[in-house]
Amino acid sequence: MELPALISTLRTALESDTVHLLRERLDDVHPADLASALVEFAAQDLWTLLTVLPRAEQAEVFGYLPAEEQVNLSINISRRKLAPIIRQMSSDERADLFNRLSDEQRETLLPALAQAEREDLLRLTSHEEGTAGAIMTSDYAILAAELTVAQALDSLRREAPDKETIYSAYVVDAARKLIGVVSLRDLILAPLHMPIEELINHDPIYASVDMPQEEVASLIAKYDLLALPIVNSEHQMVGIVTYDDAMDVAAAEATEDFHKTATIGKLETSVKQAGIGLLYRKRVFWLVILVFGNIFSGAGIAHFEGIIASHIALLFFLPLLIGSSGNAGAQSGTLMVRALATGEIKLRDWGYLLGKECLVAGLLGLTMASAVVGLGWWRGGYDIAVVVSLTMMLVVLAGSLIGLSLPFLLSRFKLDPATASGPLITSIADVAGVVLYFSIATWYLGL
């Protein structure tokens, strides 16, 4: 069912008081689609519609609701009604929700959970935001190393309903240290009486709880994993991160980096839902900082007022020259920022890439110089043509090398290279452009 049709089915059911008939009709609708439709309704109606579903599916649909909507329901629906859903949620989604609630709201919901769930929740929410610990789930399947394949399959069958995945099962020792991983595929293929010992991969890829979440997502992508086991500092297994969460993390990190390339701070919500105040705050900081950066370009121009006044034709080429410098810098900067983010290049590659950039930017500068030499001649004669084309070569080179090096410099000082945004590089390249242009003009044209 398409989204508009689904919404109107739900609305009709509410209006004609036939909500109880929905259960069967919604049987084949994907929980993600149902969640997309439900956000169109107010809290009470949303709740009425949600509770038509079987309990397990209620929790699943609830997990697909946007974070703000989950919090909203948590505030508007009584604890007694909400608790059964919260209990059914997967442990990582439950922890996410709790992280977004106020202390007071948490205090209200915690007593509704069983002791074990409460402890699990407090453990999961204790990890720092942005780390493996903060996105992992504790609903993973454990197998004892001594089992046969038949016993392991039985065990997974029993545990499956509560686990995030049973396609990867983990083998731990008595101290809960991670020993290895077994895939359901291997279990299915093996003879029933075989000890699973023979199927265990004893050298599994794993990550520690404090690994940054973007590195977790990279590991999962690099090794094509369904799930990545997470261990604490004692190598004890504490959770897994599944591929679907890794996809969400990768997309969120890419969005954050995109925004950074244009000097926008991290938005915790979508641009559609973000309020005026939030958008203002996330944008104003760098805009103001860059104004003060641009003052240097202004001061550069003011410094050269003499040569400008005597050769006013030079002004015609100013936007073109500093623009080209900034554009070339934005290109090389963006290439580096993205390649550093994906791990394609490392800090140590700077020298090699700088050498290559000198050649590429040299060629670009030559091309750009030939593109403007005629224009220079036409607007200002031979002398201006020389100054403009010589400047173009140098500013494209300077802009490119600034753009290339800034992300490395930031990385070197443990700052996020993505802060080397287009606008920041452009501002720096502008200053270099102004100074180069008018210095060359002063030198060549004399005063």
Q: Is 297 in the site for a copy of itself (CB under 8 A)?
A: yes
User: Site residues for a copy of itself, window 14-43 (CB under 8 A)?
Assistant: 28-30, 32
**Residue number, 97 or 149, with CB nearest to a copy of itself:** 149
Pick one of 122, 299, 409, 447: the residue that binds a copy of itself (CB under 8 A).
299
- Alpha-carbon distance of 251 to 246, in angstroms, equals 9
Taking CB under 8 A as the binding criterion, the range among 42-50, 75-83, 130-138, 220-228 that sits at the site for a copy of itself is 220-228
Structure tokens at 87: 């209990």
Compute the least distance from the CB of residue 209 to a copy of itself, in Å: 21
Torsion sign across C-alpha atoms 231, 237, 239, 244: positive
User: Site residues for a copy of itself, window 61-120 (CB under 8 A)?
Assistant: none
Pick one of 23, 177, 222, 412: the residue that binds a copy of itself (CB under 8 A).
222
Alpha carbon of residue 379 to chain centroid: 48
Compute the least distance from the CB of residue 327 to a copy of itself, in Å: 4
Asked if 354 contacts 409 with a C-beta cutoff of 8 angstroms, the reply is no
Pick one of 74, 91, 324, 391: the residue that binds a copy of itself (CB under 8 A).
324
Q: Nearest to residue 425, comparing CAs of 261, 287, 245?
A: 261
**Residue number, 122 or 312, with CB nearest to a copy of itself:** 312
Compute the least distance from the CB of residue 393 to a copy of itself, in Å: 13
Instruction: Count CB atoms within 10 A of the CB of residue 420.
Output: 29
User: Site residues for a copy of itself, window 339-358 (CB under 8 A)?
Assistant: 339, 342, 344-345, 349, 352-353, 356
Compute the least distance from the CB of residue 368 to a copy of itself, in Å: 6
Residues 6+ apart with CB under 8 A from 181: 168, 169, 170, 171, 200, 201, 204, 229
Binding mask 402-441 for a copy of itself (x = CB under 8 A): --------------------xx--xx--x---x-------
Residues 6+ apart with CB under 8 A from 44: 76
Compute the least distance from the CB of residue 320 to a copy of itself, in Å: 4
Counting residues that bind a copy of itself (by CB under 8 A) gives 112
Structure tokens at 280: 């203002």
**Residue number, 101 or 301, with CB nearest to a copy of itself:** 301
What is the chain's length?
Answer: 447
**Residue number, 77 or 424, with CB nearest to a copy of itself:** 424
Asked if 334 contacts 422 with a C-beta cutoff of 8 angstroms, the reply is yes
Q: Is 5 in the site for a copy of itself (CB under 8 A)?
A: no
**Residue number, 82 or 418, with CB nearest to a copy of itself:** 418
Compute the least distance from the CB of residue 16 to a copy of itself, in Å: 24
- Alpha-carbon distance of 308 to 325, in angstroms, equals 20
Q: Is 287 in the site for a copy of itself (CB under 8 A)?
A: yes
In order of 103, 206, 216, 323, the CA distances from 227 in angstroms are 32, 9, 10, 47
Adjacency order of strands within the sheet including 165-172: 140-143, 165-172, 178-183
Binding mask 199-218 for a copy of itself (x = CB under 8 A): --xxx-x-------------
**Residue number, 119 or 248, with CB nearest to a copy of itself:** 248
Taking CB under 8 A as the binding criterion, the range among 51-59, 104-112, 118-126, 195-203 that sits at the site for a copy of itself is 195-203
User: Site residues for a copy of itself, window 140-159 (CB under 8 A)?
Assistant: 153, 156-157
- Alpha-carbon distance of 341 to 302, in angstroms, equals 39
**Residue number, 47 or 93, with CB nearest to a copy of itself:** 93
Asked if 276 contacts 167 with a C-beta cutoff of 8 angstroms, the reply is no
User: Site residues for a copy of itself, window 165-194 (CB under 8 A)?
Assistant: 166-167, 184-185, 188-189
Q: Is 375 in the site for a copy of itself (CB under 8 A)?
A: yes
Structure tokens at 292: 């003060």
Q: Is 107 exposed, middle or buried (0-12, 13-18, 19+ CB in 10 A)?
A: exposed
User: Site residues for a copy of itself, window 224-253 (CB under 8 A)?
Assistant: 224, 226, 243-244, 246-248, 250-251
Asked if 311 contacts 305 with a C-beta cutoff of 8 angstroms, the reply is no
Pick one of 255, 419, 439, 442: the residue that binds a copy of itself (CB under 8 A).
255
Count of helix runs (H) and strand runs (E) in the chain: 20, 6
> Rg of the chain over CA atoms, in angstroms?
30
Q: Nearest to residue 228, comparing CAs of 215, 213, 243?
A: 243
Q: Nearest to residue 201, comparing CAs of 221, 213, 187, 220?
A: 187
What are 93's strand-pairing partners? none
User: Site residues for a copy of itself, window 381-400 (CB under 8 A)?
Assistant: 396
Q: Is 53 in the site for a copy of itself (CB under 8 A)?
A: no
